[in-house]
Amino acid sequence: MKILFAHIEGTPDNRVWYRQLADSAGAGLEVRPFCITIDPPGPRLSWPALDRLWRHRDPRLLELYGRLQEAADDCDVLLLYNGANLHPEFLPHLPTFNVYCCFDDPESSEGLSRPLAPAFDAVFHGNIASRFQYEHWGCRKLAWIPNLNPPMDLPRRDECARILEAERDVEIVFFGERESHWRRARLDALTAAFPQARCHGRGWPTGRLEDADLHALYRRARIGWNVHNSTGPINRRLYVLAAFGVLQICDNKTGLAPIFRLGEEIVGFDTIPEAIELTRHYLDHPDEARAIARRGCERFWRDYHPEAIWARVHEQLRAWGALRKREPGTSPPVPHRSPLTLARVAMDGIRPWLRRSRKTASMLRAEWRARHRTTAGFDDRFYRGVPFESYRENPGMPGINMAAVRLEEKGLLDWPDVLALNWAITSLIGDARRIVEIGSGTGPFAEFAARDPAREIHCFEADPFARAKAIELRSFPNVRYFESYENHLVGRYDLLVSVEVIEHVDEVQDYLELCSQLAPRAIYTTPNREQKHGRDHWGPPSYPPHVREFTPGELFWMLRLYYRSVRLFHLPDPHVPWLAPMTIATPGSPIVAECRDPHAPRLPELLEAAGATRQSRP
C-alpha cells in the first residue's frame, strides 16, 4: 500500500522530522512525505484563510494542489497528517482514498478540523477524547491514532535496559509551554507545591532546551508531569516520557486509561490537588515509581514506537477498505476562475455591509415595537375562578429507555453528546471506589469509569433492551448490571451517579430521598430547560419521555433540600468532555450537579418503598 503522507513544514527541521517518520514504516507500507505548506517553512493556514485562498483561486495554492495531484497519481491513500491546508472542495480531484488525521485540542477544532474532516473518506483522531466531536460532525469511519515520534526524538531500543537502571537525580521535570493561558494556572499551582521541579519551554524562566539537553534531562528524571490545554491525552510528551523510562503523572485520567494501564504503566489524575498528592506519594516511594516507569517503557516499545503505530495505521486502512478510487489521469483538472467564482468573490465584499444593515434594521424594529406597545389589562382569571397552570408536565414513563428506537432510526446506540457527558463526569469521581448508578441506560458511564480497575460499579436499569446492550457491549470485571434495587443495594456507597434521569422521574421526592441516602456524594445531570427552550417556556417538555425540565436555579434549590452542598457545572461544548463551573445564572447545558453531605438519613423505610421509585433514563 502506497501512502502520500501530507504534512505541514513549520520550520526547516520539519522536513527531516517527517522524512524519519515516513522511513520508520514497516513492511507492507510505502510512505512518501509531501509538504503541503505554501512557500515552506511556514505556519498552517487557518480555515478562513484557506477558504479565502481557495475561493479566490490563489495561484500559489493552485500550484501546490497541482503538485499534490501529480504526487497522488500513483498512491493508494492520502493521509493529511496535520489536518490543515487541504480544502475539502479539492478532494474530488484526487484519485486516492483520502484520510484526515488531526491532533487538535477542542478549542481549536472550529477553525481546523470541523470544516475539513467530514469531507474525507475516513478520519484518524489523535485526541482520544475528541471522538464525540467527529461523530457529531457526521464522520463514521473513525479511529484513534497515537502520536508518531521519529527516531530522532527517542532513545534507541537497545538502550532501554541501561536507561531504566540509570541513577535518576532530578526529582520532577516538565517540558512544555507555560505561556498557554489554557493551562498556566494549573502549571503554576504544581510548581508552587514543588519548587524543585525542572520546568523548561516558552514562558519558563529557564527557557527552552536543545533536543540533546532535553533527552539528557529525561534520562535523569524520576517523575514527569503531563498537563494538557484541556481534553486529551494528545501530546507527544505522553510517549516520549515513557520511552525514556520516566514515571509519568498525566491528566485526563479517563482518556489515559485506554492508552496505558493506570497504576501499572502510568499514573493518572483529573485535578491538580490529586496530582500534588500523587507526586508526593511517588517521591516518597521511589521503588513504586521505578516499577511503574519500567512497565510504561516496556509498553511504549511494544505498542507505541513508530513502526508499531504505522502497523496500526496499515491494519485500520485495510479494515476500512482503503483502495484508490480511480486510476491515474482520470481526475478532473484543478478548476480555474469562472463567472460563478468571481460572483462569490464579489459577494465577500458586500456580506459585512449586509450583516450591518440587517442588524440595524432589527434594532429599529425592536425600538418601534417598544414605543408602540400597549399595556394589557389585568389578568383576572383567578378572580373569575378560571383554572390555570403554572407549569405543565408530561406523564411519567417509568422503565422506558429509547435506545432501541435510536438504534433503529439513527443507527446510534448513544448520542455523541451523551457519551461526552458521561466521559466528562468521570473527572468528579475522585477517590470513590464503590459507585452506584441509577438509570444506567446502555452503560456509557460504567464503560468510562471502569477504566480504573480499583472501582466497583453497580448499575441499575429497568429497561431490558438497554440493560442487555450494556451487558453485551460494556461488561467489565468491576461492573455489575441489575434490573431492580431489591436485594441488590449494598447499603452505603461512596458515590451515586444518575445521568439524565431526574427529568424522567414522576415522583421526584421519593427518588431524591432514596438517592441522597445511598452515598455521601452524588452526581446528577439534566438538560437546561432555559437553554433548550428559552426563558418563556413553561412546559410540557417537547420530548415526551421527559416529565419535567429544570433551569440551573430550580435544580440547585431542589437539590439543596436534600444535600448541604451543591456545586453546578456545565459542558461549554456538549460534544467536548470538559466541565466548567456554573452559577444558577450561567447559560449552558447540560447541567451537572455534584452534591455532598446529605441531610438526616431515612434509608430503612426508603428501601422498603424502593420498588415504587425505580426510574430510568431514556
Q: What is the DSSP letter of 601?
A: -
Report how far residue 40's alpha carbon sits from residue 54's, in angstroms, rounded to the nearest whole number: 18
CA angle 409, 412, 418 (to 5 degrees): 120
Q: What percent of the chain has pLDDT over 70?
A: 91
Per residue in 490-528, pLDDT (tens digit) is 668 999 999 999 999 999 999 999 999 999 999 999 999
Pick from 32-36, 54-58, 602-606: least confident = 602-606
Q: Smallest Cα–Cα separation from 268: which of 280, 281, 254? A: 254
Per residue in 566-583, pLDDT (tens digit) is 999 999 999 999 999 999
Report how far residue 453's alpha carbon sits from residue 362's, in angstroms, rounded to the nearest whole number: 57
Q: What is the DSSP string of 417-456?
A: HHHHHHHHHGGG-TT--EEEEES-TT-HHHHHHTTSTT-E
Q: Smallest Cα–Cα separation from 174: which of 272, 261, 258, 102? A: 272
User: Looking at residue 607, what is its pLDDT?
Assistant: 64
Q: H or E segment at 521?
A: strand 521-526
Peptide bond into 540 cis (omega under 30): yes
Q: What is the mean pLDDT of residues 362-386?
A: 74
Report how far residue 526's alpha carbon sits from residue 9's, in angstroms, rounded to the nearest whole number: 45
Pick from 156-160, 224-228, 244-248: least confident = 156-160
Angle at which helices 272-284 and 286-299 cross, to 10°: 110
User: Looking at residue 615, what is its pLDDT?
Assistant: 47
284: burial class by Cβ within 10 Å (0-12, 13-18, 19+)?
exposed
Is residue 375 over pLDDT 80?
no
Report how far residue 331's alpha carbon sits from residue 74's, in angstroms, rounded to the nearest whole number: 12
Mean pLDDT of the chain: 90
Is residue 363 over pLDDT 70?
yes
User: Looking at residue 530, what is its pLDDT?
Assistant: 92
Report how far residue 39's alpha carbon sits from residue 36's, in angstroms, rounded to the nearest whole number: 9
Query: Which ranges constitute the DSSP H helices of 56-126?
Result: 59-72
**Residue 611: band (very low, low, confident or very high) from pLDDT cuts 50, 70, 90:** low
Q: Where in the chain is the domain with CATH 3.40.50.150?
A: 403-612
Determine the topology of domain 156-302 in CATH: Rossmann fold (3.40.50)
CATH fit for domain 403-612, picks 3.30.565.10, 3.40.50.2300, 3.40.50.150, 3.90.480.20 = 3.40.50.150
Q: How far is CA 84 from the centre of its chain?
A: 20
The one-letter amino acid code at 91 reads L
Per residue in 87-105, pLDDT (tens digit) is 999 999 999 999 999 999 8
Pick from 71-75, 227-231, 381-385, 519-523: least confident = 381-385
Q: Where in the chain is the domain with CATH 3.40.50.2000?
A: 156-302
Q: Across the strands, what pairs with 97? A: 77
88: burial class by Cβ within 10 Å (0-12, 13-18, 19+)?
middle
Is residue 378 over pLDDT 60?
yes
Q: Which three cell numbers stand for residue 602?
A: 431515612
Q: H or E segment at 312?
A: helix 306-319
Q: Which three cell numbers stand for residue 319?
A: 479494515
Q: Let me know: does 447 contact 257? Beta carbons within 8 Å.
A: no
The one-letter amino acid code at 300 reads F
Residue found under cell 421527559: 546
Residue found under cell 500559489: 60
Q: H or E segment at 591?
A: strand 591-598
Is residue 532 over pLDDT 80?
yes
Per residue in 118-146, pLDDT (tens digit) is 999 999 999 999 999 999 999 999 999 99
More confident residue, 28 or 562: 562
CA angle 119, 120, 123 (to 5 degrees): 125
CATH fit for domain 2-149+310-319, picks 3.30.43, 3.20.20, 3.40.50, 1.10.1760 = 3.40.50
Q: Give the 3-state secondary structure of 473-517.
A: HCCCCCEEEECCCCCCCCCCCCEEEEECCHHHCCCHHHHHHHHHH
Phi, psi of 493 (to 5 degrees): -105, 170
Q: Measure Cα distances from 314 to 75, 139, 145, 301 in Å.
A: 14, 20, 11, 18
Per residue in 281-308, pLDDT (tens digit) is 999 999 999 999 999 999 999 999 999 9
Report how far residue 6's alpha carbon sits from residue 44's, in angstroms, rounded to the nearest whole number: 12
**Residue 358: band (very low, low, confident or very high) from pLDDT cuts 50, 70, 90:** confident
